[in-house]
Amino acid sequence: MLEPTGGSVLIADDDSLVRMVLRMGIENLGHQAVSVGTFEELGTALSEQAFALCIMDVSMPCSSLEDRLDQTSRLAPEMPVMVLSGYSEAPETVREQGLRFLSKPISLDELGVALAGFGMGFAGGAETA
């Protein structure tokens, strides 16, 4: 088992299956993950714990992407956010804020590369600062 190196990842997606595989994928890559399915759960998780990265789905019921991005930048201004979507194009907000964007479906490799981009390489791989 690989050891986590860069703290844990917060997953925000309303689809429980997606939440589950993302968590397992991240753990498989040697990191810890916590997942939430709603705006409220996101707020609770952010106020309870610091995360190294948030992976956020574009469409979640009852809240807009902008609302959620506002919330994360308020509660965890230092935490980077990567946006995930079933659409192949990044929404305007994502492009404006220069956020990393991934379109579904994502493979394990894509996930690994993306995490590495945030300084979360494999536990046994090249150590980043």
Partner 1 sequence: MSTISAAMEREGFQALFFGNPDATFVFDTSGTFIHCNDQLIELSGYSRDELHNMTFDPLVHPDYLEETVRQFARCAMGENCRYLIRAVTKYGDPLDVDITNIPVRGTDGTVVAVIGIARDISAILAAEAARLRMKGELHSTLNQMAIGIGFVDRQWRFTFLNDMALRFLQSDLVTAIGASLLDLLPGVSETDFGAACRQAMHESRIATARAFSEDLQKWVELTAFPTAEGIVLHVTDVSEDQRTKLKLEQNAERIRSQAALLDASQEAIYLRDLDGRITYWNKGAAQLFGWNDDEAVGEHARELLPVNPEAFRTATEHVLRVGDWDGEVEMYTRDGRIVIVGCRWQLVRDDDGKATAIFAVDSDITEWKRGEDKRNRAQRLESLGTLAGGIAHDLNNVLTPILMSAQLLATSETNDSRLALLGSIESGVTRGADMVQQVLSFARGEEGVVSVLDIAALLAQVQEFSRDSLPKAIRFDLTVQTGLWPVRGDSTQLFQVLMNLITNAGDAMPGGGQLTIRAMNGADKASNRVILEVEDSGYGMDAETASKVFDPFFTTKGLGGTGLGLATSSTIIRGHGGDLDVYTVPGLGSRFRISLPAAEEGAGAEPAEPPVQDALPPGKGERILVVDDEATIREIACQTLEANGYQTLAAEHGREAIEIADRGTKIDLVFTDMMMPEMDGAETAAYFMAKHPNIAVMAASGLNANGGVARAAHSGVTSFLSKPYTTSELLVSVRETLDTWGKA
Between the CA of residue 97 and those of 90, 91, 116, what are the distances in Å?
11, 10, 20
Residue number, 61 or 77, with CB nearest to partner 1? 61
| Shortest Å distance, C-beta 9 to partner 1 | 14
What's CA 61's distance to the chain center, in Å?
A: 17
At 12 the three-state DSSP class reads strand
Neighbour count for residue 97 (Cβ, 10 Å): 12
Residue number, 24 or 50, with CB nearest to partner 1? 24
| Shortest Å distance, C-beta 21 to partner 1 | 4
Neighbour count for residue 60 (Cβ, 10 Å): 20
Residue number, 77 or 105, with CB nearest to partner 1? 105
| Shortest Å distance, C-beta 24 to partner 1 | 5
| Shortest Å distance, C-beta 23 to partner 1 | 10
Neighbour count for residue 88 (Cβ, 10 Å): 8
Residue number, 4 or 25, with CB nearest to partner 1? 25
Q: Which residues bind partner 1 (CB under 8 A)?
A: 15, 17-18, 20-22, 24-25, 28, 59, 85-89, 103-109, 111
Q: Give yes or no for a contact between 30 and 128, defined as CB atoms under 8 angstroms apart.
A: no
